[in-house]
Amino acid sequence: MKLRRRPGAFVAFVDSFTDETFFKVECDAQDTDLISYHLFDSNGRLVADSEGAQTFPEGVEIADESGELLLSVPAGRDESIQYRLYNLKGALLTCSDGQRTQIYGGVRIEGNHHLSGRPPSTSKA
């Protein structure tokens, strides 16, 4: 997954049992990338919380205390995001190395996108 989304578009990873959103990437109306996260480690301990949507123009990397990379958001919009998302019980829900994504049970992926092309025309009668 890369940043570079259309304004108003988002993708969110949600725990399907608790409805908690672990990770969300969105683009606001000013074409600014916003990231929010609530990251647990493989033991179910909270490692980091963005406390809402934030911009990370320099990118961000978050690892747990053992050094396992949980999130890597690059500074460049053309580079891929890497993540390992665990729930509060320590179960791995999804992970991506930037090239390949694995999705396991217990995660729901939500998102939206705008239709491509021109807006519908109005007919003149």
Tens of pLDDT, residue by residue over 15-49, are 988 899 999 998 888 888 899 999 999 999 999 99
Domain ranges (residues) in the chain: 10-112
Predicted confidence band at 1 (pLDDT cuts at 50, 70, 90)? low
Q: Which two tokens stand for residue 51?
A: 């406390």
Q: Which two tokens stand for residue 24?
A: 């969300």
Residue 24's Cβ-side half-sphere holds a number of Cα atoms within 13 Å equal to 23
Check: CB of residue 88 under 8 Å from CB of residue 7. Answer: no
Block residue for tokens 């396991």: 104
pTM greater than 0.85: no
**Residue 69 contacts by C-beta under 8 Å, 6 or more apart in sequence?**
61, 62, 63, 82, 84
